[in-house]
């Protein structure tokens, strides 16, 4: 089985919250197989609502039929359907293949080198929307602020090309998200308690205002 300890720890998951294997059978029938990491994720964590639906959505078995593509196995969707994530059909038998994203056009872009990289990055993105307190909207920032964040906060080791590039920082119980934007970067942050959040808010607001 795939080790999802990092994701479990991020969401404090201690109880089973997966789907039954029979629910994945339509996929298996269509594609011949599905990647081991993706199958394990569904069976172990696929039914956790905050992890899989705070912002974007893990596609649930009842909706598999809505996302049938000849060349890609789709398993995640942006909250308004503007973006889809999937693996190439030819990679379905690979245990941990790359993940690609699509914005409604013909071309697909590789967003993660592996399923595991994608799932860890997406878990951190979901966490910033599901924690008790957040700044609730993205702040525009520049390279100087990003460098200060890198200097002051440890990396979560969850960076990805998700949404054209996203980085995660912070201590346990908090998440700082830095996302690439067309003319700079966007910042969002959250924390599990008021003390952590107030400290983050004070520091990050000062950094943003100093630019």
Residues 37, 57, single domain; the answer is yes
Residues facing residue 123 across a β-bridge: none
Is the CB of residue 126 less than 8 Å from the CB of residue 51? yes
Residues 103, 173, single domain; the answer is no
Instruction: Supply the pLDDT for residue 182.
Output: 85
Residues 140, 114, single domain; the answer is no
Judging by beta carbons within 10 Å of its beta carbon (0-12, 13-18, 19+), is residue 18 exposed, middle or buried? middle
Instruction: Supply the pLDDT for residue 21.
Output: 92
Number of domains observed in the structure of the chain: 2
Q: Output the domain CATH number for residue 44.
A: 3.40.1580.10
| End residue of a domain, out of 101, 123, 145 | 123
Residues 75, 170, single domain; the answer is no
Residues 148, 114, single domain; the answer is no
Model-level pTM? Answer: 0.94
Residues 36, 115, single domain; the answer is yes
Residues 49, 108, single domain; the answer is yes
Residues facing residue 185 across a β-bridge: 141, 180
Question: Who wins on pLDDT, 55 or 210?
Answer: 55
Is the CB of residue 142 less than 8 Å from the CB of residue 185? yes
| End residue of a domain, out of 86, 106, 123 | 123
Judging by beta carbons within 10 Å of its beta carbon (0-12, 13-18, 19+), is residue 131 exposed, middle or buried? buried
**Which domain does 16 fall in, by range?**
5-123
Residues 96, 147, single domain; the answer is no
Question: Who wins on pLDDT, 128 or 69?
Answer: 128
> Residue 211: pLDDT above 70?
no
Distance from the Cα of residue 67 to its chain's centroid: 19
Instruction: Supply the pLDDT for residue 154.
Output: 98
Mean pLDDT rounded to a whole number for the chain: 94
- Sequence-distant (6+) residues with CB within 8 A of 16 are 44
> Residue 24: pLDDT above 80?
yes
pLDDT, average across residues 152-163: 95
Task: Indicate the range of 102-106, 111-115, 117-121, 176-180 predicted with least confidence.
Answer: 102-106
Summarised one tens digit per residue, pLDDT across range 190-205 is 999 999 999 999 999 9
Residues 116, 20, single domain; the answer is yes
Instruction: Supply the pLDDT for residue 209.
Output: 83
| End residue of a domain, out of 65, 95, 123 | 123
| Maximum pairwise Cα distance, the chain | 56
Task: Give residue for tokens 């339509």.
Answer: 26
Residues 119, 45, single domain; the answer is yes
Q: Give the model's confidence band at 100: pLDDT under 50 very low, under 70 low, under 90 confident, else very high.
A: very high
Residues 203, 136, single domain; the answer is yes
């Amino acid at each position: 089985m795939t080790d999802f300890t990092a994701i479990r720890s991020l969401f404090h998951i201690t109880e089973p919250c997966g789907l039954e294997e029979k629910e994945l059978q339509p996929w298996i029938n269509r594609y011949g197989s599905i990647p081991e990491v993706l199958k394990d994720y569904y069976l172990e964590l696929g039914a956790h609502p905050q992890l899989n639906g705070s912002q974007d959505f893990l596609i649930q078995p009842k909706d598999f039929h809505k996302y049938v593509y000849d060349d890609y196995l789709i398993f995640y969707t942006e909250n308004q359907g503007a973006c889809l994530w999937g693996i190439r059909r030819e990679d379905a038998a690979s245990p941990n293949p790359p993940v690609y994203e699509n914005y409604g056009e013909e071309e697909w872009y590789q967003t993660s080198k592996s399923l595991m990289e994608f799932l860890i990055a997406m878990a951190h993105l979901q966490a910033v929307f599901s924690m008790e307190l957040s700044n609730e909207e993205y702040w525009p920032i520049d390279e100087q602020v990003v460098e200060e964040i890198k200097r002051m906060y440890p990396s979560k080791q969850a960076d990805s090309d998700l949404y054209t590039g996203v980085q995660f920082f912070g201590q346990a119980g908090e998440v700082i998200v830095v996302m690439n934007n067309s003319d700079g970067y966007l910042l969002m942050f959250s924390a599990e308690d008021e003390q952590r959040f107030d400290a983050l808010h004070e520091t990050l607001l000062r950094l943003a205002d100093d630019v």
